[in-house]
């Protein structure tokens, strides 16, 4: 039986979709407001809503199939599919990072795998499809967001530093300014024998702070402004608030771990593509338009 008291058959599914279809009245209201304000978002709203209907319906049947198999292989296959889509999406956000999709995918895979493995090994979460797939999906989704932002921000910061160095060299040649400036720190550090990681520590730190701050702010205010999705779903499903809180705390901790590990790993994997084999800034990579 599902939330609306329908069976899992096709007829039950179609009957249960009546209320979700009726709920599109809210989207219709948003479309009307968009049209009245001349926002031009009506088509995108309709497309996004229709796509979500289709995707969630397909996912529902896929999950029902996987849950019925009780086979770890299907569970891991679903997890790898989510990681692949997340890596592709995060890589597109950092479109000017060479091999960005592979870097994002590897970072998300390693970060979320480590995050999922530890609670399961400590018997905090059971390794069952009903737990593993939804929880890993949340880990992958959050890791995808922070990894994409981290990679994009790192590329922009290093590129901005290179552009400022070029400007300062021009001004110095015109005798407008003299002396060494902070913008030359990366190239100066490389010239003194620093590794790319050491030379770009400031840029890497900044990109991580920018990417992780929204998630950390959400953790600070969890339960105070909105109830998290997992907790809300459990309560709506009949679980006691205390049981829901316990699981939500576990998942919140896992989200922090997955985001931090994936984003930090992405900076380590990203940095080599910004430099040549001679440890010099690769101007071809950094010349890519944002």
Q: Based on the fold, state whether residues 165 and 217 are members of the same structural domain.
A: yes
281 pLDDT tier (thresholds 50, 70, 90): low
User: Are 128 and 239 part of one and the same domain?
Assistant: yes
Query: What is the per-residue pLDDT across 57-108, written as a single tens digit (0 to 9) for each?
Result: 888 888 888 888 888 899 999 999 999 999 999 998 888 888 889 999 999 9
Q: Which domain holds residue 29?
A: 1-69
Determine phi and psi for 275, rounding to 5 degrees: -130, 155
Predicted pLDDT at 160: 74
Question: Would you place residue 13 in the very low, low, confident or very high pLDDT band (cuts 50, 70, 90)?
Answer: low
Residues 7 and 103 reside in one and the same domain: no
**pLDDT tens-digit map of 181-240:** 444 566 666 666 677 777 778 888 888 999 999 889 888 888 787 778 788 888 888 888
pLDDT tens per residue, range 250-263: 999 999 999 999 99
Choose the final residue of a domain: 69, 99, 116: 69
Q: Are 125 and 199 contained in the same domain?
A: yes
CB environment 268-277: b (16+ within 10 A), e (fewer): ebbbbbbbee
Max mean pLDDT among 116-125, 197-206, 237-246 falls in: 116-125
pLDDT score recorded for residue 159:
75
16 plus 129 within the same structural domain: no
User: What pLDDT does residue 25 have?
Assistant: 92
What is the chain's Cα-based Rg? Answer: 24
Q: Are residues 162 and 64 in the same domain?
A: no
Q: Which residue, of 51, 69, 87, is where some domain finishes?
A: 69
Q: Do 9 and 108 lie in a common domain?
A: no
Residues 214 and 147 in one domain: yes
Taking alpha carbons only, the member of 189, 224, 191 closest to residue 204 is 189
Residue 9: the pLDDT is 63
Q: Confirm if 84 and 146 have CB atoms less than 8 A apart.
A: no
Indicate whether 19 and 99 sit together in one domain.
Answer: no
Length of the chain: 290
Is 178 a residue whose pLDDT tops 50? no
Distance set, CA 55 to CA 37, 61, 63, 227 (Å): 29, 10, 12, 25
Q: Considering the entire predicted model, what is its pTM? A: 0.77
Q: Which of 52, 69, 86 is the last residue of a domain?
A: 69
Task: State the total domains in the chain.
Answer: 2
β-bridge partners, 281: 275
């Amino acid at each position: 039986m599902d939330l609306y008291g329908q069976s899992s058959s096709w007829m039950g599914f179609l009957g249960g979709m009546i209320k979700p279809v009726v709920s599109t009245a809210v989207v219709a209201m948003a479309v009307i407001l968009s049209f009245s304000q001349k926002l031009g978002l009506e088509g995108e709203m309709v497309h996004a809503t229709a796509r979500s209907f289709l995707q969630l319906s397909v996912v529902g049947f896929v999950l029902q199939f996987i849950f019925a198999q009780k086979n770890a292989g299907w569970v891991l296959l679903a997890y790898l599919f989510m990681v692949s889509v997340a890596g592709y999406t995060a890589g597109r956000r950092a479109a000017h990072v060479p091999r960005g999709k592979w870097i994002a995918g590897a970072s998300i895979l390693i970060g979320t795998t480590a995050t999922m493995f530890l609670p399961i090994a400590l018997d905090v979460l059971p390794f069952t499809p009903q737990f593993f797939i939804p929880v890993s999906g949340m880990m992958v989704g959050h890791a995808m967001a922070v990894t994409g932002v981290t990679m994009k921000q790192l590329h922009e910061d290093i590129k901005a530093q290179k552009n400022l160095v070029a400007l300062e060299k021009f001004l110095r040649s015109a005798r407008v300014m003299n002396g060494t400036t902070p913008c030359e720190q990366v190239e100066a550090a490389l010239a003194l024998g620093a590794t790319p990681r050491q030379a770009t520590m400031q840029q890497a730190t900044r990109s991580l702070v920018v990417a992780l701050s929204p998630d950390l702010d959400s953790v600070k205010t969890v339960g105070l402004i909105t109830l998290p999705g997992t907790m809300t779903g459990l309560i709506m499903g009949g679980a006691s608030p205390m049981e829901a809180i316990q699981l939500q705390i576990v998942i919140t901790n896992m989200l922090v771990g997955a985001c931090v590990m994936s984003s930090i790993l992405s900076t380590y994997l990203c940095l080599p593509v910004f430099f040549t084999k001679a440890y010099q800034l690769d101007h071809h990579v950094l010349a890519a338009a944002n």
